[in-house]
Every structure is written in C-alpha cells, then in structure tokens.
Structure 1
Amino acid sequence: MSTEPDSDETDSTDPTRIAFVCVQNAGRSQMSVAFAERERDRRGLGDRIELLTGGTLPADRVHEGVIEAMAEVGIDLSDRTPREITTEELRSCDYVATMGCSTLDVGAVGDGVDVRDWALDDPDGKDPERVREIRDEIEARVSDLFDEVVAE
C-alpha cells in the first residue's frame, strides 16, 4: 500500500472502478452496467466495485428494444437516462469497456486504465432475437470481467 495519497486520496481499500461506455449510452453500455450491478450484488462486492456508465454523445432515452430485452431477464431499465461520461471520470477507472462504437480517445484516458473494446453490434433497430443475442453476449462478458477482477 502506498503511503503517499494521490489527488483522490486513494489506497488499497478504494473500490475497483469499472466503466461501460458507448456513443449514445442507450443500449449496450446500459445493458452492461445493469448486468454489472446484478453481478456485484450476487457476489457481495458492493463495497469493492464501483460502476459507471456513459456515452460520448448520449441519446435522450434508452432504446425501447433494449428495455424490452432486459425486462425478459428481470432487469428494469425503463427509468434509466443516458448520460455523458467525462475523460476525468474515465481516468479514475481501473477498467473501461467500450462497446465497439465509441468515439473515446483511448490515449486521453491514460496508461493506468485497462481499456477493452468489446466490439458488440448496436442493438438499436435490430429485431428482438438479435437484441437478445447481444444482451446474452454482454451478460457473459460482464461475468468474465468480474471473474478477472475478483481474481486479482
């Protein structure tokens, strides 16, 4: 543990910060953070994992097809609102998962952040079966990410 606090006064007891980012923050990143919230709760990691989500050009609302697909697995996204995420927020993260569409300047995030591009199809306008496939892929990727984070 470092004895020198940084500007955020972080130390080894600080939670691991994970962000899920896409352009509109209206589909893939919303599904990702919702699955991450559920995974964090299932694993009892509420005090160890902090989650963020946002977009580089956020939409007005979450895509209807995404809300419907998530409702099928017991997750309600109807009250979620897309938001912009700042470079400063991303720099404070340990992990950033982009969805394959981001205009995120990865270089601006910094070397200390593990940035991953999940390269997922945009569910907006897709048929319900394709949205479900994207949803299920996101759920698996989130679970895998949590396995990795917990193992560290």
Structure 2
Amino acid sequence: MADLIHPDLLDISVDQELALRTAAVRLAGEFTGIYGPETIERFLHTSYDQFATTHTIPNYLPLLAERFARQRLQALARVEGHHVDGKPVVLFLCTHNAGRSQMALGFFTALAGDRAIAWSGGSEPGVAINPSAITAMAERGINIRGEYPKPWTDEVVRAADVVITMGCGDACPVFPGTRYENWDVDDPADLTPEQVRPIRDDLERRVHQLLDQLTITN
C-alpha cells in the first residue's frame, strides 16, 4: 500500500504507523471488491484523527481507528447498496456516548442478536465509558466494557433506519427519510451504580418496546 502517513498525523510513532498499516491490510481484505486502498486509508486516517486529540494512550489509537473505520465502511456499504441483508439498523445517539447510548446499545445487541444492526455515537464524545453504567449493565449480564465513545458520521446516520436520540438536542443530525425518536432519559454521568439502575431499567423497557415495533422477537 501507499505511504500511510497522513499530513495531520504529525506525532505518530513508528509503532503506530506499523499498526495502521496492518489495520489497512485487514480492512482491505474485509472489503475486497467493494472499496479500494485509497478509500480504506482515508477512512482509517480520519477515524484516527477523531481520537488522536482526546485519548491519552497512544498505542490504543490504531485499534480504535480500525474499529471505527470498519463501522463507517460497513455503513457506507449499506448506503451505497453494496450490502443488503434486510436487517434493520438502529443508531443510538447521546451527548458523550459514554452512558445512555452505550447502555441502550448493550440491551439492543443482547436482545436482537443477529436479527438487527445497532451502532451508537455522541455529539461530544467522552474518553471512556461511564464505570457506573458498566457496573449496572453487568448486573444484567451485559458487558459494555469493551465499547468506546465515538462521534457519529454522515454515513453512519444515513445507514440507519431508526435514530434514537437522548439529550443531544439540536446537535443531533437529521436526514430526510430516516425515522427519529427522542427518548427522555436522564444522563448517568457522575452517578453511582445505585443511581444508574433506574436509568438502566428505563432503557431496557424502551429497547423492548423498540424491538416490538421493529417486529424483532426476543
């Protein structure tokens, strides 16, 4: 592949560059026949840029960039008609993508299984998942520890059939033809696990209702 050093990645280390090269090869293999190296590298670079200014563990950045680039490329493939499987796509959006949207995503993924696709994002992404949200979800047998706050992008929103918003207000993106639903759910930021439980249970109820509306049995 071509040189992966991006003009904006001024402080990238040799190890990070190698990790990005490896990620580009993996993504190229996954999207063979759909997207070429230039598109994959562009998505990988812009995904890296999203996290480079907020995350303090440099060696983790290429992995985050790869995961986010993969999701964005999957979304773009749906938008452009390269991937049609009939599964509904739900996008959960909140402010920091560290609490409400991640808990909703956890419930939806656990209950829907492989019958639907779910993503999440934030208008002002935080750095890490709310530890109280992680604890509260673990009490339901759902592990969201491996998730990470991320922004939304146009292709991710455009690929969604349903966009659930929670507290992002006017910052939430709006595209014609997409179903939008706002959930009035308290923000679990700075709350204890005990205080998060009612929020968790409210989200669980709402996700069950959404699954019923989408005729996804659980």
Q: Secondary structure at the match of 1:61?
A: coil
Between structure 1 and structure 2, the one with the greater Rg is 2
Aligned to 1:142: 207
Shift of 1:85: 1.1
Gap change, CA 1:20 and 1:150, over 3 Å in 2:
same
- How many angstroms does 1:148 deviate by? 0.3
* Alignment match of 1:54 (pick from 118, 121, 140): 121
Aligned to 1:39: 111
The aligned residue for residue 15 of structure 2 is: none
Point out where structure 1 has 5 or more consecutive residues left out of the alignment: 1-5
Point out where structure 2 has 5 or more consecutive residues left out of the alignment: 1-77
Q: Which residue of 2 is the match for residue 71 of structure 1?
A: 138
1:13: Cα distance to partner? Answer: 4.2
The structure whose residues are more often strand, as a share, is 1
User: Match of 2:152?
Assistant: 85
Higher relative contact order (CA 8 A, sep 6+): 1
Change in 2 beyond 3 A, CA 1:35/1:118: same
TM-score where L is the length of structure 2: 0.58
Q: Compare the two structures and name the one with the higher helix fraction.
A: 2
Question: Counterparts of 1:40 and 1:21 in 2: how far apart (Å)?
Answer: 18
Identity %: 35
Shift of 1:75: 1.2
In 2, the alpha carbon distance for the partners of 1:55 and 1:132 equals 21
- 8 Å Cα contact 2:93/2:172 also seen in 1: no
The letter for the 1-side match of 2:88 is T
Considering only aligned residues, what root-mean-square deviation do their CA atoms show, in Å?
2.1
Q: Residue 134 of structure 2 aligns to which amino acid in structure 1?
A: I
Aligned residues: 139
Higher alpha-carbon deviation: 91-100 or 141-150: 91-100
Contact 1:16 1:50 (8 Å CA) reproduced: yes
Q: TM-score, normalised by structure 1?
A: 0.82
C-alpha distance in 2, partners of 1:29/1:126? 16
Aligned equivalents of 1:12 and 1:75: distance in 2? 28
Q: How far is the alpha carbon of 1:99 from its aligned partner?
A: 1.1
